[in-house]
A and B are shown apart, each in its own frame.
Chain A
């Protein structure tokens, strides 16, 4: 399934087809496939089966490859004791909201910067991109202080989903991705729509957005994974047990819970993102590659 078999890489095709080259190629490929499976899939296998082992079996030397006496109860305990249903629901809810807020606000902003080009648009874009250079850790304290007492409004956003949704909108990378995509949409389409008397909103809705499905998909996936993987920010702004995300919840329980139950909970927490990845891996790959570098 060589999708780009036409392009020449480091080693020529001819060389790989000849006797010795062919042998080395297949030998190396086998080693890499087996090695990668062990290195990247192996730990996941260890995690899923390890969570099925009893406490005694985990402490046994050498460790067993298959659980001798599988204990599905560990998964049940994880689900019940940590209230994983609640934690997963919270995380889903934050992820869904993050997608909506980012799609609406970041798309509108990128559309404006790319097609409407208002005054000072470039300055605003530059200021947005500058935030990419600032590490999140540097901002964590002042951001937290801001969230517990919003300027002017004096609202405390602790334990409110807006504390997760709104800061995620300030995502220069997504705006940049969207703007680059919109830039590639021919200007003629815009002027044609304008001539037909379409308002900018209508142009965005009926012309730009339908053409931008791939990039909108990428931004949505990034939004979901960002919420799912984030740890410190949700830990700080969602302090009460009812509003926690799944990663934070597992961390909070890890101290007083048997370790195979913690691992079982970790497996359950990982399932949604892994499924999202397996379904959308093509979009994720293309998003990563187009987004970062081509051109």
Chain B
């Protein structure tokens, strides 16, 4: 909304400016001063973004085409990329990470949604249940993961999970020591630690669904499942889509679970993740450039996901 000062209107000093207009900009000097004040308030945060976010983003891409050895930096083209792809752990890491993403979505995406629907129906103990679901989110991940590692995933029958399986007369598992169970075990731990956030976000969006929609659906004879399908899901579609994206980005960064639960690589490379490989190359194999290249690859893959996601959601509208 542009405000033009009408010639001839005399402004008495101290007259209140009209509402919704913000500061009146009269002269050039005033304008410059206002801008400078605005930027002065911004500068601290902007500098932090420049140094710790925007510049590293560009630097990461530049680094991925360079090689620094004994303090000398040279341009090496795609060498870092071919070296990192040739790493025997490269494909297993991607396989594991994508497998984790899919499993984590299957479990960590649907479960919170239904938990939220359930909690939203309750008229009692709501606060208590909400606190319970969110409590693990507040634990330092290292604390929660040591609990899983030592007490729950103990491969002998002294472990909590095996004791429960045994009591139910089900076959026990080697958990982290079996390559097949490594990923599901990490997904269980990760979902337990993280689902609280998603549940609360779903709860908030469920509370925004107008009650009349359910009423109308009920009058039309729609049962509970139909009401979920035709009212709840369409009404929360935006949030569902948004959280799916957030969760994909989060699960692709799988790192602390393999590091603590599987001591990094796990049995037969069954736990190595892309993020762990970045860490390995960057901080153990003295290959920061290779690690930067892998970071760029990860960024490209995620950008691909985002593009596909945008196309899909555009098609739906």
Interface residues of A (CB under 8 A from B): 1-5, 7-13, 16, 28-29, 32-33, 36-37, 39-41, 43-44, 46-47, 50, 58-63, 104-106, 108-109, 111-113, 115-119, 121, 124, 127-128, 131, 133-147, 150-151, 166-167, 169-170, 175, 187-188, 190-192, 194-195, 200, 204, 225, 228-229, 231-232, 236, 246-248, 250-251, 254, 259, 262-263, 266-267, 269-270, 273-274, 276-278, 281, 284-285, 288-289, 292-294
A139 and B60 in contact, given A11-B121, A191-B22 (Cβ under 8 angstroms): yes
- A99 shortest CB reach to chain B, Å: 15
- A266 shortest CB reach to chain B, Å: 4
Task: Flag if B159 contacts A63 (CB, 8 Å).
Answer: yes
Task: Flag if B46 contacts A109 (CB, 8 Å).
Answer: yes
A1 and B42 in contact, given A135-B252, A136-B253 (Cβ under 8 angstroms): no
Whole-angstrom distance between the alpha carbons of A194 and B37 in the complex? 14
Interface residues of B (CB under 8 A from A): 14-23, 34-39, 41-42, 44-46, 48-49, 51-57, 59-60, 63, 117-118, 120-136, 138-144, 146-147, 150-152, 156-160, 163, 166-167, 192, 197, 200-201, 203-209, 211-212, 214-215, 218, 224, 227-228, 231-232, 239, 249-250, 252-253, 255-256, 259-260, 274-275, 278-279, 282-283, 288, 291-292, 295-296, 298-299, 302, 306
> What B residues does A37 contact at CB under 8 A?
132
A166 and B52 in contact, given A113-B42, A175-B45, A247-B140 (Cβ under 8 angstroms): yes
> What A residues does B56 contact at CB under 8 A?
139, 142-143, 145-146
> What A residues does B288 contact at CB under 8 A?
141, 144-145
Q: Please give me the residue from chain B that is nearest to A13 by CB atom.
A: B123
Task: Flag if A142 contacts B57 (CB, 8 Å).
Answer: yes
CB-defined A-B contacts under 8 Å, sample of 26: A3-B126, A9-B209, A13-B123, A50-B150, A50-B151, A104-B44, A128-B49, A131-B54, A134-B57, A135-B252, A135-B253, A139-B295, A142-B63, A143-B56, A145-B56, A187-B22, A195-B16, A200-B37, A250-B143, A250-B146, A254-B260, A263-B151, A266-B142, A269-B142, A270-B143, A277-B138
Chain A to chain B: the 10 pairs with minimum beta-carbon distance, closest first = A118-B38, A8-B211, A289-B204, A109-B45, A112-B41, A266-B143, A142-B56, A116-B38, A142-B60, A105-B44
Task: Flag if A144 contacts B135 (CB, 8 Å).
Answer: no
Whole-angstrom distance between the alpha carbons of A143 and B275 in the complex? 15
Task: Flag if B44 contacts A62 (CB, 8 Å).
Answer: no
A119 and B35 in contact, given A247-B140, A263-B147 (Cβ under 8 angstroms): yes
Task: Flag if B124 contacts A288 (CB, 8 Å).
Answer: no
Task: Flag if B156 contacts A59 (CB, 8 Å).
Answer: yes
